[in-house]
Each structure stands twice: as structure tokens, then as C-alpha cells.
Amino acid sequence: MVATFLKHRLFYEDPRYILFIYMVLNDAVQLTLLTALYVVSYAFQRIPASACCVLVLLAVLTTRNTPLILGGMAVERYTAICHPLRYRQICTLYRTLALAATILLLGAAPPLSDLLVTLAVEPPSFFRASLFCDHSLLFREPSIYYKNCAFDTLYFSFVFLTLFCTYFKIVRTARAAASTDWASARRARNTVLLHGGQLLLCMLNFVMPSMQAFLLMLFPGKILEIRYVNFLLVYIIPRFLSPMIYGFRDEKFRKYWSRLLMCRVQAVGPVHTNHQLSQ
């Protein structure tokens, strides 16, 4: 997807595809870090707190970015459908990049504040010690939990209201344009609905600890299996599927993406054939 984006100038001059590839990169980094954390926790059990800190901070940053990117993408679709004549004036390249930078700063605020609080309350020897790499064990100060609850409530409420308002305004515009550009408005409405579904999946992060505790009460000997299934359902599958769904739903991106994949397949095919003939 990134190769397709970079190969064609029409994509990296369009705010829609800039935000899309931002989501792709964010989800790719998040998947990599979460998988690394999961593997490390099983393979090594305990690692230096300083190394764990880097992994956890980056994982939290990309996790916090996800709902904010969804909100930005919904606003872009709302502008394209409800204000098509002013779209080029509102959604400029500069404003899109500024929005991406703002999302990065807002996403970085919670993990950076976690680090600052921990540096203030923990001795320097704490970061040289080894521990099981988990957010709650690394950032032990009780105030951090309540602070993050406030951040999460604020972020998710803001994104939910953004999706709610943009959806109903797009629906109203779609009904008014039923005789002209109904198909485009319907796709935009479905896109915002998809954003809402993704946001609900992101909110599973809040209920996962309680759900995991309940399952452990029912199946006390299956802690590893329960943790693994929750890891797949809450963190891995939603982040893996989201970019794929967006890539296939967009006709323009799908055309260039499929073309690139076909070129790769055709390039690999003759190599395998020649290799078999030589044998």
C-alpha cells in the first residue's frame, strides 16, 4: 500500500489518501510493536525497564493516534460531500499535514505525561531493573491510571461526536442529492459508519481487562489461551483488516494497488518457471 501511494503523485497530493496512508503506517507500527511486546513477554519474561519503556511508549502513542485519525478522515469525507465547491480551499495539503502533526502531538501527550510522572516519582535505579513488560507494571503511580482514563474519555468522546455529527450531515446531504450524486454520498456515509465500527473496536481496550478477569474466573487454568485470544481479537485483527478494507473499497486506490500486485506476481512467475526448467 505504501509503495502504491508513493509511486503515484495523484495520491500524495490528495488529503484523503494522505490520511489513509497515515492510518496504514500507524497501524503497521502499532501491529509491529504490540507483537514485539507480546513475544518479548513470553520469550524473555523480564527485560530492562528502559527497553520496555521505549516499546510501551511507542505502542501507546500509535494506539492513541488511531481514533484521532478516524476523526480526521470523517471530517475530510464530510467536507468533500457537504462542501464540494469549497473542498480545495478547506482541505489543502498544508492543512492536511498540519492535522497529521496535531494528531501526532495529541497522541503523544498521554505517554509522555506517563513518562514524566514516572521520572518524578521513581528512583533512577528503577529504569535499570528488569521487569515483566506491561504498562501497569512500568507506570505504577496510581495517578497515571486516572489521568489516562480522563485522556481516553476526552479523546473518544470527541471522536464519537465528530463521527456522529458528520454521519447525519452526510445522510442529510445524500437525501438532498438523491437525484444527482447519490452514489458518492452513500459511499461517504458507509465510510463514516466504518469509522464508527473501528472506534467501537478501539474501545474494546477499555473493557478487555474486565472481560479477561471474568473469563479467568470461568476458566482459571487457561490464562495464556485467554490472553492470546483477547490479544488477537482486540489488537491484531481490527488493525490488520482496517487498511485492507479501505484499500479495497476505494476504486482509484484499488485499481493502482491491484496493478502493482499483478506486476509483482507476473515478475515472480517467470523466475519460478525458469528455475524449474533449469532443474
* Nearest-angstrom CA–CA distance, 151 and 163: 18
pLDDT of residue 184: 66
107 in Cβ contact with 61 (< 8 Å): yes
The residue type of 114 is D
pLDDT of residue 113: 92
pLDDT of residue 103: 93
Spatial CA neighbour of 36 closest among 23, 49, 55: 55
Work out the pLDDT band at 258, boundaries 50, 70, 90: confident
Note the pLDDT tens digit of each residue in 125-176.
888 888 888 788 888 888 888 888 888 888 888 888 888 888 888 777 777 7
pLDDT of residue 112: 92
Tell me the percentage of the chain whose pLDDT exceeds 70.
88
Span of 14-23, 64-73, 206-215 with lowest mean pLDDT: 206-215
- Ordered by where they begin, the domains of the chain are 2-266 (1.20.1070.10)
242 in Cβ contact with 196 (< 8 Å): no
Note the pLDDT tens digit of each residue in 222-254.
777 777 887 787 777 777 777 777 777 778 888
Tell me the three cell numbers of residue 103: 494528531
Tell me the three cell numbers of residue 118: 514516572
| Average pLDDT of the residues in 40-57 | 84
Span of 17-31, 64-78, 103-117, 215-229 with lowest mean pLDDT: 215-229
Four-residue CA torsion sign, 210, 211, 214, 216: negative
pTM (predicted TM-score)? 0.81
| Average pLDDT of the residues in 33-61 | 85
